[in-house]
Structures are given as C-alpha cells and as structure tokens.
Amino acid sequence: MIRLVHDRIDALLHQLHVSTVSVLALSLALGLLLYATQGTPIPAAEWQPVDIVGEGGVALLAGFWAALVARSRPGGRVTLLLTGGLGAIMLGSWLDCLDEFFQLADGIWWDNILESGLSITGMLVLTLGLLDWRQEQFRISEHFERRERLFRDHRVLDRTTHLANAEYLRRQLRLEHHRAPDQPCALIMLDIDHFHLVNREHGVREGDRVLQAVSHLLLLHLRHDDLLCRYAGDRFALLLPATIEADARERAQHLSLVLSQSRLHTRQGVRLRLSARVACAVSDTDPDVLISHLNARIEALQRSPHHTDHQPA
C-alpha cells in the first residue's frame, strides 16, 4: 500500500514538473502586472542601477537554474523541491526588483510580505531539495562504485554467465554490513535440481546455455539494488539489501516458482523442465559462516520433497 501511494505521488510530481518553465514565465508576468496595476511608475532618473542589477540578476539566475534543473532531471520529489525553491527565490527577487520601477501606495503592506516570504520559503524548500539530492547522489555513487568494481576486476566475473562470483559476493556482504549495519540484508541460495543430467544427456554446451538462460531469467526479477552471483556450478546467490527475512522467503518462493514454470529447449529441440532448491537467511553473521550455513541447508533440501526452505534461520 505504501509503495502504491509512493508511486502515485512520484507520477504526480513528474506531471507537475513538465510545465515548470511555463509556470516560471507566468509568475514573472503576473508579478509585473500586479505592480503595474497597484503602483505608480518611478521616473528613470530615480532608478537605482546597483539595486536593479543585483535584485534582477538574482531573479534571472534563479529562474535560469530552475529551468535548467527541470530540463535536466527526471520528475520526482527532488526535482520539484529544487525547482520550487529556486522558483520562489526568483519570484521574491523579481518582486523586490519591481520596487525600483513602481512606487506603491503607503497603505499597501503585502509587498514586503511577498518579497521576504517568497525568498525565505524558497531557501527552505531549496535546502530540503539539496538534502534529498545529497542522499540521491550517495545512492547513485554506491551503485556506480559497485558496478565499477565488478567490471574493473575481471577476475570476479564468471565467464559463462557474466555474473559476479563467490569472491565478489563475500565482498558485497561485508560492504553492505559496513554501509548499513542497522539494516537487514538477506541472502538467497538457489541450486538447480539434477543439473548434472543436463550435462550428461545433452552436453556441456547445453548445460552452459541453461545456466545463461537461468541467469537472465533471475535478472529479470531483481530490484535495482539487488545483486545476482553465480556461486559455483549450478548454484546462484542473490543478495537483497534492506530486506527482512520474511520478504526474502517470499522472494525465494517466487523465484523457485518462476523457474519451475519455465521451459527451455535444447538446440536439438528437447524441452527441459527445471526446478530448484532454495534457501535464504538474513546476513547477521560473518559472510563465510552465512554462506556455509545456506549451502548446508541446500544440501539438506536435496533429501526433502519440497525444495523451498521453510525452516527458521
């Protein structure tokens, strides 16, 4: 439910940010119209060039930055906060600049409230946007750091599936624990049943094609921050950051079901039916201990009629 509300808010924010430039231009025009109708023009000889350049320059730059952000970023909370804050600063400075061209009557009080209120509000909203943008950049940097390490160090890549191997999995388990020690991090082990029969009956090349197909299938069911590795042989490991054990068990059952409902064909046209043993646990111990524990549970499931691990961790 929370996820659904979040997605709807994001969709609304995306729609709102599309016309940002038009809203900024309309705001400037309305401000000019307001002062022109409520005030008296000040003679050009009494204009203050320094104030006009300073206040007008802030308005123009803030508007330019808001338009640049709106055109350069996808829609969302961060974009709306940044453009909204900059837009309010722009409008506050613009109204302040209009004071140099129009003299308002002494009884008018709303001009100072608008000018100061918009500027302060814009700064607060912009600050919130910058804080959210900072968190966004942290997540992006972590993701690129992970991908950079993976593709830079070819020794951790499995040649058959092009997935990371067990060594890289252990590194990432330690990294997740160090990065977010208070957040749960789950690990799923998935082992293809009777895979040795594929190699024996259809050849090693067909076995490699099965491994590649399984890896592609599993990748389709990953979240953005999940990590899929080929642990060894026909055994895959799925690292799930920020995932409690109940959710990990649900994901494990789903992956097992997806695999069992898939049908692969060999080059000779033989249809293969696959199934898998699946076990999961939350990473609250040393990675080597956790992996050994899950491997043992996978081996124990070989003697069980049901392939999904339902035992407590």
Q: What is the CATH number of the domain that holds 77?
A: 1.20.140
Q: Structure tokens of 194?
A: 């009777």
pTM of the predicted model as reported, rounded to 2 decimal places: 0.51
Query: 81 near 126, Cβ under 8 Å?
Result: yes
127 and 171 belong to one structural domain: no
Does 307 map to a domain? Answer: no
pLDDT at 147: 53
User: Rounded CA gap, 300 and 307, in Å?
Assistant: 10
Q: Is 264 exposed, middle or buried (0-12, 13-18, 19+ CB in 10 A)?
A: middle
User: Rounded CA gap, 295 and 53, in Å?
Assistant: 70
- Which ranges in 99-230 belong to alpha helices (H)? 110-152, 166-179, 195-202, 204-219
72 and 169 belong to one structural domain: no
pLDDT at 159: 85
**45 Cβ contact partners less than 8 Å away, ≥ 6 residues apart:** none
pLDDT at 121: 92
Residue 251's CB is within 10 A of a number of other CB atoms, namely 21
pLDDT at 116: 85
**18 Cβ contact partners less than 8 Å away, ≥ 6 residues apart:** 75
Q: Domain boundary residue among 143, 175, 193?
A: 143
Alpha carbon of residue 126 to chain centroid: 21
Query: 281 near 245, Cβ under 8 Å?
Result: yes
Does 241 map to a domain? Answer: yes
189 and 73 belong to one structural domain: no
Containing structural domain, residue 265: 163-301
Per-residue pLDDT of the chain (313 residues; tens, 9 = 90+): 445 544 554 554 444 444 667 777 888 888 888 888 888 888 988 888 888 899 889 989 998 898 888 888 877 888 889 999 999 999 989 888 888 888 888 778 787 888 888 889 999 999 999 999 988 888 777 655 555 555 555 567 888 888 888 988 998 888 888 887 888 899 999 999 989 898 899 999 999 999 999 999 998 888 888 899 999 999 999 999 989 999 999 999 999 999 988 888 888 888 888 899 999 999 877 888 889 999 999 988 876 655 555 443 3
User: Rounded CA gap, 186 and 173, in Å?
Assistant: 9
* 164 φ, ψ (degrees, to nearest 5): -70, 160
Does 153 map to a domain? Answer: no
124 and 201 belong to one structural domain: no
Sign, Cα dihedral of 8, 14, 12, 91: positive
173 and 139 belong to one structural domain: no
User: Rounded CA gap, 211 and 195, in Å?
Assistant: 9
178 and 131 belong to one structural domain: no
Q: Structure tokens of 248?
A: 């990990």
Number of domains in the chain: 2
Place of tokens 């231009």: 25
Does 106 map to a domain? Answer: yes
User: Rounded CA gap, 178 and 194, in Å?
Assistant: 37
172 and 130 belong to one structural domain: no
Does 310 map to a domain? Answer: no
Does 158 map to a domain? Answer: no
Does 151 map to a domain? Answer: no
CATH code of the domain in which 191 resides: 3.30.70.270
264 and 206 belong to one structural domain: yes
Does 311 map to a domain? Answer: no
73 and 126 belong to one structural domain: yes
**23 Cβ contact partners less than 8 Å away, ≥ 6 residues apart:** 87
Contacts by 37-42 with C-beta closer than 8 Å and gap 24+? Answer: 38/102, 38/104, 38/105, 38/108, 39/98, 39/102, 39/103, 39/104, 39/105, 40/102, 40/103, 40/104, 41/101, 41/102, 41/103, 42/100, 42/101, 42/102, 42/103
274 and 213 belong to one structural domain: yes
Q: Domain boundary residue among 143, 172, 199?
A: 143
102 and 170 belong to one structural domain: no
225 and 278 belong to one structural domain: yes
Q: Structure tokens of 234?
A: 């026909």
